[in-house]
Amino acid sequence: MKKTATTLASTLLLTVFFHIVPVSAQTAQPAFWTEIAEFKHRDSIQRPPVNAILFVGSSSFRKWTNVQSAFPGYPIVNRGFGGSTLDDVIRYAGDIIYPYHPREVVIYCGDNDLAAGKPAKKVYKRFVKLYDMIRKRLGNIDIVYVSIKPSPSREKLMPEMEEANDLIRNFIAERSHASFVDVYHLMLNAQGQPIDSLFVADKLHMNEKGYKIWQQAILPYLDK
């Protein structure tokens, strides 16, 4: 009888364990989901314009809070989020790219992939995957890739940045309705080092001077 009770208790414990673990796994949200949910909430209150220019990518876009005023006359939807990687943008393409039916997609991402230890060729392959996804779903809309920027805090990654930028530039050069915007070289001094005065205190994100360079570089590639 004692053995039966012990066995029953063990069975009950195992049953509880195997029921609890899946629930915990199901309630765990993927990275950046809170920000994606916030985009959805905003869209439910005020629907963004269809056929706009979609800015998507990491925090350099997220922190460009006055991007619409930087491009007057162009309808801009900014969906930069967190410290996202290209994998994150790929994961949420169905939430932050396709639903907007944009006439053009401007991408800034890849910086954080390198910082996470991914090599340049991996960043390139991720970009190609995202590019192909957009093409398949949205057809021949214009796709603009803004080069990885040379941040002072990530100066040691500059060789990988240059390689990734070159691979993506060469890929885009062979395709129509696609453009590469080189901000990398515009943000270097005469010695080939990142210009500190373009960045805020963290030496990773840009100040207004940095964004002014981006505004001037991107403007010629936007669709009226």
CA angle 102, 118, 162 (to 5 degrees): 75
Specify if 142 maps to a domain. yes
Pick the closest to residue 108 from 75, 52, 137, 149 (CA basis).
Answer: 149
Q: Kindly report the CATH number assigned to the domain that includes residue 149.
A: 3.40.50.1110
**Long-range contacts of range 202-206, CB-CB < 8 Å, 24 or more positions apart?**
202/153, 203/151, 203/152, 203/153, 204/151, 204/152, 204/153, 204/154, 205/59, 205/60, 205/63, 205/151, 206/60, 206/63, 206/149
Strand pairing category for 104-108 and 53-57: parallel
For residue 205, give the H/E element and its range. none
pTM of the model as a whole: 0.87
Round to whole Å and give the CA distance between 217 and 211.
10
Specify if 146 maps to a domain. yes
Beta strands in the chain (DSSP E): 53-57, 76-80, 104-108, 142-146, 178-181
Local confidence pLDDT in tens for the 224 residues of the chain: 444 444 444 444 434 333 434 433 345 788 999 999 999 999 999 999 989 999 999 999 999 999 999 999 999 999 999 999 999 999 999 999 999 999 999 999 999 999 999 999 999 999 999 999 999 999 999 999 999 999 999 999 999 999 999 999 999 999 999 999 999 999 999 999 999 999 999 999 999 999 999 999 999 999 97
- How many distinct structural domains can be found in the chain? 1
Specify if 47 maps to a domain. yes
Specify if 161 maps to a domain. yes
pLDDT at 68: 96
Round to whole Å and give the CA distance between 206 and 191.
20
To which residue do tokens 């162009």 refer?
74
pLDDT at 29: 83
Specify if 116 maps to a domain. yes
pLDDT at 27: 56
Range of the domain at 131: 32-221
Distances (CA, A) of 178 to 29, 30, 142: 34, 30, 5
Specify if 1 maps to a domain. no
Radius of gyration of the chain, Cα coordinates, nearest whole angstrom:
22
- Contact residues for 16 (Cβ-Cβ < 8 A; gap 6+): none
> Please, which residues bridge with residue 206 across strands?
199
Specify if 3 maps to a domain. no
Specify if 9 maps to a domain. no
Q: Helix, strand or coil for residue 207?
A: coil
- How does 193-222 read in b/e, with b if 16+ C-beta sit within 10 Å? ebbeebbeeeebbbeeebbebbbebbeebb
